[in-house]
Amino acid sequence: MGGESNYEIHQNAYIKLILHALKHKTSSVNGVLLGRISGNGDNVEIVESVPLFHSQIGLLPPLEISLIMIEEYYADKGLSIVGYFHANERSDDFEVGNVAKNIGDHIYKYFPQAALLLLDNKKLEALLKEGKDRSPVMQLYTKESSRSWKLAGADASGSLKIKEPSANIVLLDYVSSGKWKDIVDFDDHLDDISKDWLNPELFK
């Protein structure tokens, strides 16, 4: 079921995840994707994202707390958790590791069209140097029934596109202005609850 879906991510959701990864370049980071099903039920629209953690990202209690808070907040806005984002600690690591698989599996139980997005560090580095590519600097993985997570597109199974074609240009502008320093994730919020995990000022 998941492999037949197409995924569209909104610009702000996309940029937020990448800025989070850039802020913590030497750590694994993760985030959760919020959205809804659109079209005839085979399109998943990723409207929002929430940066989760940059340290000890596999710990269950903080993860459970964060997912409950996120679900409750976005339910009022008609959005639910539709996927998971992961950036590996090492820039030459292109594998979906156990932590990513486990969290992805958890989301898949409740949303069978779940997307697992893995940051493509090679594409991101090329974008930061050359600034030309318009395609997402993320790899899309989907899952069907009991099978493992599979890279989409290898057999025409699903695709990921950014809703706004100029998203990477906007991203580069935010990177050059140091906007990544302003990102707050759940780690930051749990350390200091005055820090808002919704990042309401980020795109103002």
User: How would you write the pLDDT of the chain (204 residues) with one tens digit per residue?
Assistant: 444 789 999 999 999 999 999 999 999 999 999 999 988 888 999 999 999 999 878 788 889 999 999 999 999 999 999 999 999 998 888 899 999 999 999 999 999 999 999 999 999 999 999 988 899 999 999 997 768 899 987 554 569 999 999 999 999 999 999 999 999 999 999 999 999 999 999 998
Q: What is the CATH number of the domain that holds 39?
A: 3.40.140.10
Domain for residue 198, yes or no? no
Domain for residue 133, yes or no? yes
Domain for residue 199, yes or no? no
- Domain span at 42: 2-191
Whole-structure pTM value = 0.94
* Long-range contact set of residues 52-61: C-beta below 8 Å, sequence gap at least 24: 52/185, 52/186, 52/187, 53/29, 53/185, 53/186, 53/187, 54/20, 54/23, 54/24, 54/27, 54/28, 54/29, 54/185, 54/187, 55/27, 55/187, 57/28, 57/29, 57/30, 57/99, 58/98, 58/99, 58/102
Domain for residue 77, yes or no? yes
Domain for residue 204, yes or no? no
Determine the pLDDT at residue 3.
44
Domain for residue 150, yes or no? yes
Domain for residue 85, yes or no? yes
Domain for residue 196, yes or no? no
What's the number of domains the chain is made of? 1
